[in-house]
């Protein structure tokens, strides 16, 4: 059934299963077995990359200056609206494949580059088709409030989402046409203010979606306090979170999804991971893969979390497995090697698991096998010819 039957000492398991036959036995001598990694925040469905904007950022132009000039999210929205669904699906499947080869076995996938009902549904259908046709696990997020569409105010955009988008999503969820798990809003100065954010998130919660939103990234917005009050499952970014917000999230058991890639690429101050951990917040990690932060690799995210956010390697591994699964409401089935949980695991070509974090960008030669639901879905034959690291 794709679930783990036993975990323990080799001799105990050998005797327990002495009568069993197996399709395949993998010799892991000198290697290390880890839970499949969980990427708790990605934007993988879009057309039109923004490689040209990277040069602008390097020259000192800020994220919001690019956004105000019609770049950023608006540039991608235009390209995504023009792209056929099959083209979006093909790109999405390729990106999910790269995430899988970097060790991710469960990924949160957001819409949000449509900003109109038709394109948002096109993106969500692509996510649903990928979920059914790829090996990687998918948690689907409706992020229609990713930016305010041109010609609308935040209040008008919120009204449109509440009155038109969410009722349609509820209908499609009930019919089984698509399965959406989470509701997201970009709560930010110049995007969706606190009141519009509250209205959209509450309306999403009312139709059964988990609250999992962008907050306190570029300006302190009191997003963390709002999320704790609404019973949010998770809040992402949090570079500008207040001390009060951190305490509120810890009390509410609301996960903090930290994105060290974003702070690194935009040269923002890093999220205060140490303060959050000390206060008892459940800290998770995500790649924030999108045209602005083009990173598929959770091992690289863990490395950045350790170096730039001062997390220990143990904390980073927990944040990229069990805590990231918690942020998606999946910690009962994913994120650790326990009897009864889904058989998602990595085998790395080293007797020390720390190599997965220590080697910056070295996962291509280190991840030997990726296994999902007990089946080998990726085998890296190069590892077999290389000595253990």
* CA 120, chain centre distance (Å): 18
Of 328, 349, 369, which one is at a domain's C-terminal end?
328
Flag whether 388 is in a domain: no
Mapping DSSP onto H, E and C, the string for 147-170 reads CCCCCCCHHHHHHHHHHHHHHHHH
Structure-token pair, residue 360: 């910056």
**pLDDT recorded at residue 387:** 60
Q: How many domains does one find in the chain?
A: 2
| In a shared domain, residues 204 and 296 | yes
Give SS3 for 79.
helix
Among the residues of 231-371, which ranges form H helices?
Answer: 243-252, 260-265, 273-279, 298-309, 313-319, 322-327, 355-358
336 located within any domain: no
Residue 218's SS3 state is coil
Q: 357-374 as b/e, with b when 16 or more CB fall inside 10 Å?
A: bbbeebbeebbbbbbbee
Burial class (CB in 10 A: 0-12, 13-18, 19+), 75: buried
**pLDDT 10s digits, 89-140:** 999 999 999 999 999 999 999 999 999 999 999 999 999 999 999 999 999 9
Residues of the chain with pLDDT under 70: 384-389
CATH value at residue 310: 3.20.20.140
103 and 202 in one domain? yes
**DSSP element (H, E) containing 345:** strand 345-348
- Tell me whether residue 66 is in a domain: yes
- In this structure, is residue 386 part of a structural domain? no
| Euclidean distance between CA atoms 22 and 17, whole angstroms | 10
Distance CA 320, CA 62 (A): 29
Domain around 160: 35-328
Looking at the fold, whether 183 and 75 belong to one and the same domain comes out as yes
């Amino acid at each position: 059934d794709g679930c783990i039957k036993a975990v323990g000492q080799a001799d105990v398991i050998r005797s327990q299963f002495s009568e069993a036959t197996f399709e395949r036995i993998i010799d892991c001598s000198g290697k290390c077995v880890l839970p499949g990694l969980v990427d708790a925040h990605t934007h993988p469905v879009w057309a039109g990359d923004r490689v040209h904007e990277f040069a602008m950022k390097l020259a000192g132009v800020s994220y919001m200056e690019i956004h105000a000039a019609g770049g950023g999210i608006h540039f991608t929205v235009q390209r995504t609206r023009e792209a056929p669904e099959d083209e979006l699906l093909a790109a999405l499947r390729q990106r999910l494949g790269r995430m899988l080869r970097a060790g991710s076995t469960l990924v949160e996938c957001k819409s949000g580059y449509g900003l109109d009902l038709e394109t948002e549904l096109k993106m969500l259908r692509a996510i649903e088709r990928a979920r059914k046709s790829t090996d990687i696990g998918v948690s689907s997020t409706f992020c229609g409030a990713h930016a305010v569409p041109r010609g609308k105010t935040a209040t008008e955009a919120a009204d449109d989402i509440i009155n038109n988008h969410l009722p349609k999503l509820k209908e499609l969820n009930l019919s089984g046409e698509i399965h959406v798990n989470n509701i997201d809003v970009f709560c930010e100065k110049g995007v969706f203010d606190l009141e519009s954010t509250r209205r959209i998130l509450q309306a999403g919660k009312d139709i059964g979606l988990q609250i999992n939103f962008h907050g306190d990234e570029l300006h302190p917005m009191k997003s963390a306090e709002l999320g704790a009050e609404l019973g949010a499952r998770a809040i992402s970014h949090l570079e500008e979170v207040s001390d009060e917000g951190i305490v509120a999230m810890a009390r509410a058991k609301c996960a903090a999804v930290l994105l060290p890639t974003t702070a690194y690429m935009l040269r923002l101050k890093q999220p205060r991971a140490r303060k959050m951990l000390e206060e008892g917040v459940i800290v998770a990690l995500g790649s924030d893969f999108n045209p602005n932060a083009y990173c598929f690799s959770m091992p690289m995210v863990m490395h950045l979390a350790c170096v730039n956010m001062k997390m220990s390697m143990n904390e980073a591994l927990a944040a990229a497995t069990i805590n990231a699964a918690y942020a998606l409401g999946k910690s009962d089935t994913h994120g650790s090697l326990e009897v009864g949980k889904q058989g998602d695991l990595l085998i790395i070509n080293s007797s020390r698991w720390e190599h997965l974090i220590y080697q910056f960008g070295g996962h291509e030669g280190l991840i030997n096998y990726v296994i999902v639901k007990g089946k080998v879905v990726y085998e890296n034959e190069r590892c077999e010819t290389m000595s253990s690291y």
